[in-house]
A and B are shown apart, each in its own frame.
Chain A
Amino acid sequence: MPDAIEARQLDVGYGGGRKTAVKVLAGLDLTVAAGSFLSILGPSGCGKSTLLRVVADLLDPLGGSISVLGETPHTVRSRRDVGFVFQDSTLLPWRTVRDNVRLPLGVGQGSLTRKIEDRSTELLELMGLGGLSERLPHQLSGGQRQRVAIARALLGEPKLLLMDEPFGALDEITRDRLNDELLALWRRSGTTILFVTHSIAEAAYLGERVIVLAANPGRVVKDLDMRPFKQEGNRCKREDPAIVAAMADLRVALERAS
């Protein structure tokens, strides 16, 4: 089974050509095993979101190489093996909850050899949205909206789920609850998840592995395997001394990176 992501000497930048562009990521080496849960931490502007955008084929790298599930990002996106969850839920306000979840059925089907099935009812139940399926997005709370966005991303059963600070705008209790739901989903599906966050606690609690990126230009400055601190299935308690110690370790790396 190929790695979910293999990046070698990856350079990514914005504006201008290869030489004049401002580099956001420079010489990034990163391997992510299939089926794993990777948390990505870093200060603002370190290229966390940029990395996700390169993996999702939303942005072309300037140099180096990247393979996703053993193929080019473009091939993987065209096959729709990638799901993306944004910080703002990006729900279409004129569509009901169910129709938002079903968006992947209505668009992009032409590019696909594998047809997506309508699993919206099952996913809405799974995400605790069963009774809300006919509501419009403005009638939902922030947490409910993110649940809809996750259900939409999961509809196509992606092999790779990219999450760009999906719970950043939520209150702490809702965020903790969604963290647990996400872990349960991950255990069940075997999907590889790349999870960008600003929160050290969230990164440590969710990730089997946490990387810290530094800015100007973005590069990996800390790569921490969390599995020794956790039980089977990436399970842990937030207040576990080993997790708290790992968080302190990550904080030091993050402070140096900022």
Chain B
Amino acid sequence: MRQAPLSPQMTVALPILGAASILLAWQYLLPLLGVPAYIVPTPTAIFGVFQKNFALLIDNLRPTLIEALAGFVIGNLAAVLLAVLFVHSRVLQAAYFPIVLFFNTIPILALSPIIILIFGLGMTPKIVIAAVICFFPTLVNMIRGLDSASDNEHELFRVLSATHSEIFWSLRLPRALPMLFSSLRIASATAVIGAIVGEWIGSDKGLGALIIQATFNYQSDRLYAAIVLSSSLSIALFCLVVLTERRIIKY
């Protein structure tokens, strides 16, 4: 039997109630069950870190934010440009797409030390790692998107004697936008992952570095606070993508 749909108030209230119930159980049930605070600190202890060490958290958030954003922009831009090149030259696509495919099979954790060897210990290698991790899904989606116009749509433009550039701007690109945005949504989370992974390997600043230091020092409340902050960063980037998408794609 199908259940009746929820009222609008309930659709808003239920997720809040769900989250609250988990936080309450976490706060009161876990200590009762004997889970030690150095493994899972309570929500209030984590919140306490935000009050006590706010400056430290923000200081570490800033580099991660810059690296993730720069990596997001550079990786996606490079992917879009390469996709445009590939759909306009089947020869280039046939020659180089398999190589791009091969690079994508290398785990980012294995690739990161090489990137750090090349670019040193500054922000650049983290930006490169974030860019690399964003690059591939966008490339694949953008190629598919640019090729997604139907035969009839291409024939319509041919009947109108449209030029290649008119076909690109008036048909292929708008057709590709929904697929581009779905990969940008994915990239909003992976860019932050890329920046943090980069900071794990060679950095003393950033949320990744903070996570490693807190782990080694058994400062689990600080560790959890850093995790909450990195997840918030992903969510903020994701929301930014969704808002832009809603402004641009209205159909």
Contact = CB atoms under 8 A, between A and B. Distances in A.
Q: Do A and B bind each other?
A: yes
Interface in A85-109: 86, 88, 90, 92-94, 103-104, 106-108
Nearest to A103: B160
Nearest to A137: B251
A80 B161 contact: yes
- Residue in A83, A107, A108, A110 whose Cβ sees the most chain B Cβ within 10 Å: A107
A58 interface: yes
Contact of A110 (B163, B171, B174, B251): B163
Interface stretch (B35-43, B92-100, B148-156): B148-156
B104 to A, nearest CB: 30
B161 A94 contact: no
Given A84-B155, A86-B152, A88-B152, A94 B162 contact: no
- Residue in A82, A103, A108 whose Cβ sees the most chain B Cβ within 10 Å: A108
Given A94-B250, A106-B166, A77 B161 contact: yes
Contacts of B62: none
- Residue in B155, B167, B177, B249 whose Cβ sees the most chain A Cβ within 10 Å: B155
Contact of A108 (B152, B155, B161): B161
B249 A80 contact: no
B76 to A, nearest CB: 21
A90 B156 contact: yes
Contacts of A7: none
Nearest to A79: B161
A113 to B, nearest CB: 12
A107 B150 contact: no
A111 B161 contact: yes
Interface in A115-171: 136-138
Given A84-B156, A86-B152, A92-B171, A107 B166 contact: yes
B170 A107 contact: yes
A100 to B, nearest CB: 10
Interface in B10-43: none
B156 A112 contact: no
Interface residues of B, number: 21
A137 B153 CA distance: 15
B155 A58 contact: yes
Given A94-B250, A108-B166, A136-B250, A77 B159 contact: yes
A58 B162 CA distance: 13
Given A108-B160, A108-B163, A94 B152 contact: no
Contact of B162 (A82, A92, A107): A107
Interface residue range, chain A: 20 to 34
Contact of B156 (A78, A86, A106): A86
A94 B245 CA distance: 13
B50 interface: no
A65 to B, nearest CB: 21
A32 to B, nearest CB: 18
Given A88-B152, A108-B166, A94 B174 contact: yes
Nearest to B166: A107
B158 interface: yes
A12 B48 CA distance: 78
B157 interface: yes
Contact of B160 (A86, A104, A137): A104
Contacts of A82: 159
A193 B84 CA distance: 39
A138 B251 contact: yes
Contacts of A103: 160, 170
Given A106-B170, A107-B170, A94 B251 contact: yes
19 contacts: A56-B159, A77-B158, A77-B159, A82-B159, A84-B159, A86-B155, A86-B156, A88-B150, A90-B152, A90-B156, A92-B171, A94-B250, A103-B170, A107-B163, A107-B167, A107-B170, A108-B157, A108-B160, A110-B163
Interface of B: 150, 152-153, 155-163, 166-167, 170-171, 174, 177, 249-251
Interface of A: 53, 56-58, 77-78, 80, 82-84, 86, 88, 90, 92-94, 103-104, 106-108, 110-112, 136-138
| Minimum-distance CB pairs A-B, first 7 | A108-B161, A107-B162, A108-B160, A111-B161, A107-B166, A93-B251, A84-B159
